[in-house]
Amino acid sequence: MGNNSSDKIKTYQEQLYIDNTVRLREIIATLPSFSKDFFRAIEPTTSAKTRISYAYDIRVFFRFLLDNNPYYKNKAMDDFTVKDLERLESVDIEEYMEFLKVYRSDDNQMLTNGEKGLSRKMSALRSFYAYYYKRQIIEKNPTLLVDMPKLHEKAIIRLDTDEVALLLDFVENCGDQLTGQAKVYYEKTKYRDLAILTLLLGTGIRVSECVGLDVLDVDFKNNGIKVTRKGGNEMVVYFGEEVRGAIQRYLDNTRNLMRPLPGHENALFLSTQKKRMGVQAVENMVKKYARQVTPNKKITPHKLRSTYGTALYKETGDIYLVADVLGHKDVNTTKKHYAAIDENRRKQAASAVKLRES
């Protein structure tokens, strides 16, 4: 008898796809029924994660109308039709934007949105409207009459070179300061945590790419790891000797001695529960160590990615290489983040232009 496909161990990406698809269906079921068409239409050009966040954001919009718009006072989510979209005026959209700044969630939590959150929620609503407008299902699109929130550039937080060394040294040696249960846990996870931090700092991969790695994705012959990038493309990212050494030590001292739980046999990075580590576990681990070394900087795995991108750009001056290695589809994203960091070149500008010949 042939193997049933459900018997085969699913890859991290396959399992993620199943989980996200189920989650998306659950949220869409709580939206007006006509919304399904929009999500079906954007499926080929968006990731499941994007569609999930759009679904949440669009649900906030409809709940806002039910709770705050007198016209919908005694209506329910199922009563909305696509024609309700064109019944609204630009002032209704502006009221929604104002509402988004501070509002209560379903479970009565007080939520706030800064520039970025506001912009994301408005982008979701604009895309939603654009779908029905483009197909001439509605005749007007009030979201086009409302200005999008202005986004201000924020300084990129990253670790300085000496802070990178301090962080890795701290993880390597902080066991001396620990006792009891904390020390036992530290000894269990030391090589794993060092391998993850060294890998993130030495390759700039995303935390989602890191937790998705399988043991067989590491190629010591060519010093490369096979990662699945945003959008599903596979790519080999190469690493140096420090990363190689850290992964090898983790495999020899920790990973190869563990017996993972069923379904997690292939995972490179395992939790103490012998399951594949999740994104949040890595985020918490990074925060835990970074807090001790750089208390004034809020360091996340993404900041370690920025640290790598900065270092690579400073060493090579090649923005296209940085974009390629980081897996940015658009080099302008990279330019925005890293091309502005070259303080020395900016200082050169001060003396480059002569106003009067001396």
List, by residue number, the catalytic residues: 206, 230, 302, 305, 328, 338
Three-state secondary structure call for residue 282: helix
For Cα atoms 221, 224, 227, give the angle at the middle one, nearest 5 degrees: 140
Residue 207: C-alpha distances to residues 25, 139, 234, 340 (Å):
25, 43, 15, 24
CB of 325 within 8 A of CB of 204? yes
Which amino acid is residue 141, in one-letter code? N
Helices first, then strands: H and E counts in the chain: 15, 5
Surface-to-core class of residue 354, CB atoms within 10 Å of its CB (0-12 exposed, 13-18 middle, 19+ buried): exposed
- For residue 253, the Cα-to-chain-centroid distance in whole angstroms is 30
Rounded Cα distance between 358 and 347, Å, is 21
In whole angstroms, give the CA distance from residue 57 to residue 27. 11
